[in-house]
Amino acid sequence: MSTDRTMRNAPNAPIAFLKGHGTENDFVIVPDPDNDLDLPARAVAALCDRRAGIGGDGLLRVVRSAAHPEARAMAGEAEWFMDYRNSDGSVAEMCGNGVRVFARYLQRAGHVAAGDMAVATRAGVKRVHLAKGTGPEGAATEDGDITVHMGRAALPDDEVTVTVDGRDRPARHISMGNPHAVTFVDDLAQAGDLLSAPPVAPASVYPDGVNVEFVVDRGPRHVAMRVHERGSGETRSCGTGACAVAVATARRDGQDPARTGLPVTYTVDLPGGRLLITERPDGGIEMTGPAVIVAEGHIDPAWLAAAR
């Protein structure tokens, strides 16, 4: 269904949406296969508003790759493009939890079945595997974990610091297609309230902002984290952030798979749940975790028009 074409032909026609989350990183999902729907930043922010809108850490617009100018070059590899927006309406390159939720939507809508698929993002094509859930009498369900091949991490040599409560902490600069600054603390409470973005220096390293992760050890190859996501604030989970944390922790622990020749897996606990992150000797990173669709309904087009 082309939601905006329906709206133009019938101005009062409702616009379909769904709501989903991956380890409580939640998203408004807007199906727009033909790339008809204009969603400026103000409209996205209004939809993601938790009091006056639907509420979410971000918005996933579902568009056929061939219909979107940013994704046409990837259409031969991936039929569907994830147009991801932060909750303030800004455009982002990638969202790991968002990819899992995006894939779950495609499964729910009947566009894909359990197994392997691909999703186009601004950070390139991501390979996804939907495990087959099993219900009564072996019936397939939509509750199997989803694994996303997140690509390789880039580890620039920039020396960066994160300032919390007046103290500068060393951080590791890691890119997962989007930028991260990972710092280790003794207690997650040391991250503070994270109501605003922690200052990161030098600012020139992150001209478009940065996601900041605070990490504590929980056990062998087991960590916990909190995250402030650029454009969204503190969130319950961040998939690319969990990958960046696993990579940073592996380097700290001397477990670089490219050197050892062995894959390494870290369990990463987030406020919203648990993710398993595996880095392989070739540098490929896999993230495994749940994704749930919790509701679907319709947006009032008059309200959305006013929000623009």
For residue 94, the domain's CATH number is 3.10.310.10
How confident is the model over 65-102, as pLDDT tens digits? Answer: 999 999 999 999 999 999 999 999 999 889 999 999 99
How confident is the model over 199-240, as pLDDT tens digits? Answer: 999 999 999 999 999 999 999 999 999 999 998 999 999 999
Q: What does the radius of gyration of the chain's CA atoms come to, in whole angstroms?
A: 19
Same domain for 165 and 105: no
Q: Is residue 225 part of a domain?
A: yes
Same domain for 140 and 13: yes
Same domain for 16 and 139: yes
Same domain for 201 and 186: yes
User: pLDDT confidence of 152, banded at 50, 70, 90?
Assistant: very high
- 145-166 as b/e: b if 16+ CB within 10 A: ebbbbbbebeeeeeebbbebee
Q: Is residue 274 part of a domain?
A: yes
Same domain for 295 and 272: no
Same domain for 296 and 283: no
User: pLDDT confidence of 11, banded at 50, 70, 90?
Assistant: low
Range of the domain at 10: 3-145+291-307
Instruction: Tell which residue, 267, 30, 289, has the closest CA to residue 150.
Output: 289
Q: Which token pair is 94?
A: 């990638």
Same domain for 166 and 280: yes
Binding residues for substrate: 25, 86, 96-97, 178, 211, 229-230, 239-240
- pLDDT the model gives residue 265: 98
Same domain for 171 and 118: no
User: pLDDT confidence of 268, banded at 50, 70, 90?
Assistant: very high
- pLDDT the model gives residue 197: 92
Q: Is residue 234 part of a domain?
A: yes
User: Total domain count for the chain?
Assistant: 2
Binding residues: 25, 86, 96-97, 178, 211, 229-230, 239-240
Share of the chain above pLDDT 70, in %: 94
Same domain for 122 and 28: yes
Same domain for 297 and 250: no
- pLDDT the model gives residue 165: 80
Instruction: Tell which residue, 187, 168, 289, 304, has the closest CA to residue 238.
Output: 289
Q: Is residue 73 part of a domain?
A: yes
Whether the CA torsion 258, 264, 269, 273 is positive or negative: it is positive
Is residue 43 scored above 60 in pLDDT?
yes
CA distance 64 to 94: 17
Q: Is residue 151 part of a domain?
A: no
Q: Is residue 34 part of a domain?
A: yes
Q: Is residue 17 part of a domain?
A: yes
CA distance 216 to 188: 7
pTM, full prediction = 0.89
- pLDDT the model gives residue 143: 79
Is residue 198 scored above 80 in pLDDT?
yes
User: pLDDT confidence of 13, banded at 50, 70, 90?
Assistant: confident
- pLDDT the model gives residue 134: 66
Is residue 8 scored above 80 in pLDDT?
no
Same domain for 168 and 275: yes
Q: Is residue 150 part of a domain?
A: no
Chain mean pLDDT for the chain:
92
Is residue 133 scored above 80 in pLDDT?
no
Residue 133 backbone dihedrals phi, psi, to 5 degrees: -75, 155
The CA angle 46-210-186, to the nearest 5 degrees, is: 110
Is residue 35 scored above 50 in pLDDT?
yes
Residue type, 234: E
Same domain for 216 and 121: no
What residues are annotated to the active site?
95, 238
Is residue 36 scored above 70 in pLDDT?
yes
Q: What is the dihedral of CA 259, 263, 269, 273, to 10 degrees?
A: 150
How confident is the model over 278-295, as pLDDT tens digits? Answer: 999 999 999 999 999 999
Is residue 139 scored above 90 in pLDDT?
no
Share of the chain above pLDDT 90, in %: 86
